Structure 1
Amino acid sequence: MSHLPSAPSIPTAALPDGTVARAAGFVEATLGRGIEWIAALLIAAEILLLLAGVIARYFLHTPLIWVDEVASILFLWLATLGAVVALRRGEHMRMTALVAKVSPGTRAFLDTVGLAAALAFLLFIVYPAFEFATGEADVTTPALEISNAWRAAALPAGFGLMALMAAIRLLRVGDWKRVLGAVALVVLACLVFKAIGPAMKGLGNLNLLIFFVGVTAVTVLMGVPIAICFGLATFGFLTLTTSLPIDVMIGRMDEGMSHIILLAVPLFVFLGLLIEMTGMARAMVAFLASLLGHVRGGLSYVLLGAMYLVSGISGSKVADMAAVAPVLFPEMRKRGAKDGDLVALLATTGAQTETIPPSLVLITIGSVTGVSIAALFTGGMLPGLVLAATLCGVVWWRYRKEDLSHVTKATGSQIRSALLVALPAVLLPFVIRAAVVYGVATATEVSTLGIAYSIIAGVLFYRQMQWRRVVPMLIETAALTGAILFIIGTATAMAWALTQSGFSNTLAQAMSALGGRTAFLVVSIIAFIVLGSVLEGIPAIVLFGPLLFPIARQMGVHEVHYAMVVVLSMGIGLFAPPFGVGYYAACAVGRVDPSEGMKPIVGYILALLVGLAIVAAVPWISLCLL
């Protein structure tokens, strides 16, 4: 996958032999290894801590009230240090669709510009992050009664270390002209914006287009890391067009990166790696292949079904993808599936399953609009199946000529034998869902039960537990987690900035002026696809739900039906490139360059739009089970 740049793509032998480069290499290696080990230990601590909480509460009936608090403190440190690890390993997500088409020299320069832009943004926010952490010193945590600065200090520490790592990577580029040119370009852009800043304050909502469309689009297409693009646009908007202090932006990033439900992300990522390492993945794939392996596109159908079944278990769509992709992708690649098509299907199944309960977005709709959550959960089942059917149509078309001459249809005895071997692996999703349904564990904690279950199955049943791989797996999990959460943090800050601009009220007034039910639904679909590309589902619902659901009722649209249309629209926007954060998260989970999925995803997105149109046009699909 294409990530944060330059030095990772330079072979070691090509690095300069100068004193500065050698010193930079030594500092990077020493510092990087230390941070990787700390991040790995933090993940291990989170797993043990949450597992202890489940055991104490459910089996010993003595809840440890401080567990969630400690987990929250450690999680923010994990998020920021993981982002440092991702920067060192070159794993911050970026768009390279255009960059890949330019000459090698131009691409190398744009890679260096990405590093320089990252360094600039991190230097901009490191001191405000320090001020934010200092301000948290007077806040006392409820359970442990310690200063919240212990948690908030992760932000300036992480941002400072990222800035240091970015500077080191620049020193290791080796071409001083390229480095100076990239730094000069970034500095010049900052100076130009600062010079015209006073004039921009009078432009009103035009600044939204300048920063959140213009700056974001230009930097994304240049190959600057996605999180940095979001961060620079938000920082520039707040600094040049408002009088708000930047530490408020840091607070929003903190809110986005440290949401406790996101703790499921690293745990499910590690669970996915663990399933692969213990042999459970191979056993599960072998069983699924015995059922559908002889069908053209069979494992693609399995991916659709798996995402439908596990959706919502973890409370995070990223975690859902992380639980499924590592199990299926290796075998699908062996069967000739291309990386671009795999990540395109993974991303669109993420959008397709947004209404499948238990869904945090549906819970949020119920809480802010007064719609029955039970009705939303009931109404969400069939719309997801409709979109699954349209995606299956694309899968059938694309794989209709797949060569299966080397694949033999499994016999009944072979299927039974494969099931017996795969049974512990096949039972895992049911164990996880049962733990949630019966209150054994929360959506965040349930992944720890999955990890414990996988370790036991790996040791006792499959006997393929390779302990030497555990630490590298923990480090890999930390890097992926940091890359994803850094994007979520900057995207949350951007969503908050849009709220402060008054954009939400303007949109609501414009939509209320529409004359009819059909027009209202069409505009709602378009608006929420756009909103989904820049906002997380929950912030968007909190922002627009109380405004638009009363209008929908006035237009004669059933609130459950409208909820399904809104959620699916946001899901399509969230997982559609070039701006959908979910798409880049899918690329990160699948370890695929975002540019590879651009062409294959078009057909799947069109299929989702067809399914959404059917759901919007036929209210019965959302209401028949109520």
Structure 2
Amino acid sequence: MSAVPQGSITGTFDSRAHLGNALMLVDRAIGASVEACAALLVAAEIVVLFAGVVSRYVFHSPILWTDELGSFLFLWLAMLGAAVAFRNGSHMRMTAVVSLSGPQLWPLFESVALAASLAFILMTLGPALEFAHEEIVITTPALQISSAWRASALPVGLGLMLITGVISMLRSPSRMASMVAILVVALVAGAFYSSSGTLPKLGNYNLLLFFVGLVGALVLAGVPIAFAFGLATFGYIALTTRLPTLVVIGRMDEGMSHLILLAVPLFVFLGLLIEMTGMARAMVGFLANLLGHVRGGLSYVLVGAMYLMSGISGSKAADMAAVAPVLFPEMRSRGAKDGDLVALLSATGAQTETIPPSIVLITIGSVTGVSISALFTGGMLPGAVLGVMLCLLVWWRYRREDLSAVTRPARKEILRSLGFALPALALPFVIRAAVVEGVATATEVSTIGIFYAVIIGLLFYRQFPLARVYPMLVTTAALSGAILLIIGAATGMAWALTQSGFSATLAATFKSLPGGAPTFLIVSAIAFIVLGSVLEGIPAIVLFGPLMFPIARQVGVHEVHYAMVVILSMGIGLFAPPFGVGYYSACAISQIHPDAGIKPIGGYIVAMLVGLAFVIAIPWISIGFL
């Protein structure tokens, strides 16, 4: 047996090292460039929409092209943001089942998720290029430019995700896991393709195969939700119908380009901004001085702070990130256990899903046609009802709390903290007044909040570190891209379900339920609790909202009342372990192990279910102020 020359081994390792370094440099260059472009687009959207508000309301001379330009840039922001999220591994996914598999199998599941995502990108890249090419002949009415410039965002974003995904696969520390993952995805794809002659004969059983079986398997395997939806939809259209896959790209474009959704990135940025400027800390500080000396006082503060923050940021992650670091150290010093802290934080996240300007409210308005202003008005009281239920449970749990070491603040100190917090406390009312008085639309009002926060941060709180602005813009783009890609994929999936006749069957089934509207509401609540825990809120609403809201109207349920029931039910599922992704977000923000909150959160879930029952039984709670 001849020995292998030492030089050849060294040369092999050197070549691999050079390849790895080269891939790393390419990945960093692409990442930095895409992040810069995405951050610039977020800033541009803010300026363009705010200019539209000022020109119309202050100078009474509206700029006609602002909405068109905003929509034009928005698709680029969505796709570049999705590319940033893909590179950073921050697309929404369910990892509860994967985490149970153990550390030895985690690399394999991660590789399968990446390989499946790349399969979706490869399937859609060709139709996306074709879609952009067909848009060449369409000219925008105000700017008079080809719509292909806007539609090109789809293939560019997908192409960037393909490049970064391939680089990530090549740089994987576990090459065996990568090879096995590619083989598994190829075998599954091959099995479906080889069955293309048989699948059309199955009729509507294909709905179970693709949209229950395939989506369920992909989601449980940790594949990002947007890519799981997209794979199932493309597979269903390509293998069971004669429709061109190009129509799915068109539906995705339609879902991601709705002008109302422009509020999503802007409210996400606003949430980050109020934390950076110290506005959140000022509000929480006032509430702590006001209630911190009573039994369970800081828990009441947490409920109230999350209620106020939800009226500003629209993002539950931003709300929790702003409130938890301020309150938790003091609550721990008073003897609160980590499990109780993360349980209550999760419960308040579910409680405030209806508080405007919630991103979920904006999404439900965009996909169902329900008035955003009506949803903003109807959402205040249902959230307060659940808040009261949580406070009653807090009172019971902390009725014997020892406060002997707690000093009650003097009245002057409370008034001083109130004066310091007033500019921050005014922001939710500024946002609501701007919508109600017609100063700005639900899309534009976020820009007013952003400029208000900038001015207050600079002049009043004097806390505005410029170095944090760029990372905030990048974070906004990535989170928005992840949300919008889900909306686009879910829109395509909902369209496919509608074309199959599923919506008609679903409507007939619900209309045949005994008991009329009450039974329909109860069944809907149960369904959306389940859907919220498995699919997350936004994809569940985008997927089933267009199907369920027409049925609600037919059985006599007011659309705003139904929206509140759906959103609260979905929020309970979203923040309930073991599957609720929101619960794990709360754990990550709190830096508390998920196991700690499993037992204490049970009581809070029961309290929220009682509150939900009141909202279902008393429609006035949702529509009394319309």
- Which range, TM-score by smaller chain? 0.7 to 0.9
1:143 deviates by: 1.2
CA–CA separation in structure 1 for the residues paired with 2:471 and 2:71: 24
The separation in 1 between residues aligned to 2:614 and 2:307, in whole angstroms, is 19
Q: What's 1:348 paired with?
A: 350
Structure 1 residues 183 and 539, CA gap change in structure 2 (3 angstroms): closer
- Structure 2 partner of 1:278: 277
Q: Quote the residue 1:92 is aligned against.
A: 91
SS in 2 for 1:576: helix
* Structure 1 runs not aligned, ≥5 long: 1-14, 554-558
Work out the CA distance in 2 between the residues paired with 1:425 and 1:458: 9
Q: Tell me the distance in 2 between the aligned counterparts of 1:218 and 1:262.
A: 29
Indicate if the aligned counterparts of 1:256 and 1:492 stay in contact, CA closer than 8 A.
yes
| Residue identity opposite 1:23 in structure 2 | A
Query: 2:11 maps to which residue?
Result: none
Question: How far has the Cα of 1:292 moved from its partner?
Answer: 2.6
Deviations 1:66-110 (A, max 9, x none): 011111111111111111111222211222212223332211111
Distance 1:515 1:485, change over 3 A: closer
Matched residue SS, 2:173: coil
Question: Closer, same or farther in 2 for the Cα pair 1:422/1:29, shift >3 Å?
Answer: same
Distance in 2 between residues matched to 1:87 and 1:585, nearest whole Å: 20
* Kept in 1: contact 2:560–2:622 (CA 8 A): no
Structure-2 change in CA distance of 1:491 and 1:605 (3 Å): farther
Contact 1:139–1:147 at 8 Å: present in 2 too? Answer: yes
Code of the aligned partner of 2:481: G
TM-score between both structures, scaled by the size of structure 2: 0.84
Between the aligned partners of 2:358 and 2:180, the Cα distance in structure 1 is: 50
Whichever residue aligns with residue 319 of structure 2, its letter is V
- Tell whether 2:569 aligns with 1:572: yes
Q: Does 1:386 align with 2:390?
A: no
Mapping of 1:425-444 within 5 angstroms?
Answer: 425-444=424-443
SS of aligned partner of 2:140: coil
1:72-83 paired onto structure 2 within 5 Å:
72-83=71-82
Distance 1:404 1:271, change over 3 A: farther
Using a 3 Å threshold, how does the CA distance of structure 1 residues 75 and 159 change in structure 2: closer, same or farther?
same
Specify whether residues 523 and 45 from structure 1 end up closer, same or farther in structure 2 by C-alpha distance, changes over 3 A only: closer
Using the alignment, how far apart are the partners of 2:25 and 2:378 within structure 1?
Answer: 58
Cα pair 1:383 1:564 within 8 Å, conserved: no
Most deviating of 350-359 and 158-167:
350-359
Query: C-alpha displacement at 1:399, in angstroms?
Result: 6.2
**Contact 1:321–1:589 (Cα < 8 Å) also in 2:** no
Greater displacement, 373-382 / 491-500? 373-382
Distance 1:451 1:460, change over 3 A: same
Q: Cα–Cα, structure 1 residues 224 and 625, in superposed 2: closer, same or farther, change >3 Å?
A: closer
Q: Is the 8 A contact 2:378 2:560 kept in 1?
A: no
Task: Report the structure number with the largest CA radius of gyration.
Answer: 2
Letter in 1 for 2:452: Y
- Structure 1 CA distance, aligned partners of 2:255 and 2:278? 35
Q: 2:549 aligns with which of 545, 552, 570?
A: 545
| SS of residue in 2 equivalent to 1:197 | coil
Match of 2:611 in 1: 611
Deviations 1:186-241 (CA, angstroms, capped at 9, x unpaired): 11111112122322222222222222222222222222222222222222222222
User: Which residue number in structure 1 is paired with residue 325 of structure 2?
Assistant: 330
| Aligned counterparts, 1:76-475, within 5 A | 76-295=75-294, 298=297, 300-302=299-301, 304-305=303-304, 319-321=314-316, 324-334=319-329, 335-336=331-332, 340-341=342-343, 344-351=346-353, 353=355, 382-396=381-395, 407-475=406-474
Instruction: Count residues in correspondence.
Output: 597
> Are 2:435 and 2:445, in contact at CA under 8 Å, matched by a contact in 1?
yes
Inter-CA distance 380–425: structure 2 relative to 1 (3 Å threshold):
closer
Percentage of identical aligned residues:
51
Alignment TM-score, normalising by the size of structure 1: 0.84
Q: 1:23-72 deviations in whole A, cap 9, x for unaligned?
A: 11010011110111111111111111112111111111111110111111
- 2:252 and 2:488 in contact (8 A); partners too: yes
| Deviation for aligned residue 1:540 | 4.1
Task: Tell me: CA distance 1:589–1:432, structure 2 relative to 1, closer, same or farther (3 Å).
Answer: farther
Which one-letter code corresponds to 1:572 in the other structure?
A: S
Q: Distance in 1 between matches of 2:393 and 2:263?
A: 31
The alpha carbon displacement at 1:352 in A equals: 5.2
Contact 2:565 2:616 in 1 (8 A): no
Q: Is the 8 A contact 2:350 2:574 kept in 1?
A: no
Aligned pair in 2 of structure 1 residues 176, 81: CA closer, same or farther (>3 Å)?
same
Residues of 2 paired with 1:234 and 1:403: CA distance?
A: 57
Shift of 1:326: 3.8
Deviations 1:355-396 (A, max 9, x none): 99996689789968xxx9999888766544433333434555
Shift of 1:255: 2.1
Shift of 1:571: 4.2
Would the aligned equivalents of 1:357 and 1:381 in 2 still touch at CA under 8 Å?
no
Given that residues 42 and 473 in structure 2 are in contact (C-alpha distance below 8 angstroms), is that contact kept between their aligned partners in structure 1? yes
CA 1:19–1:377 in structure 2 vs 1: closer, same or farther (change >3 Å)?
closer
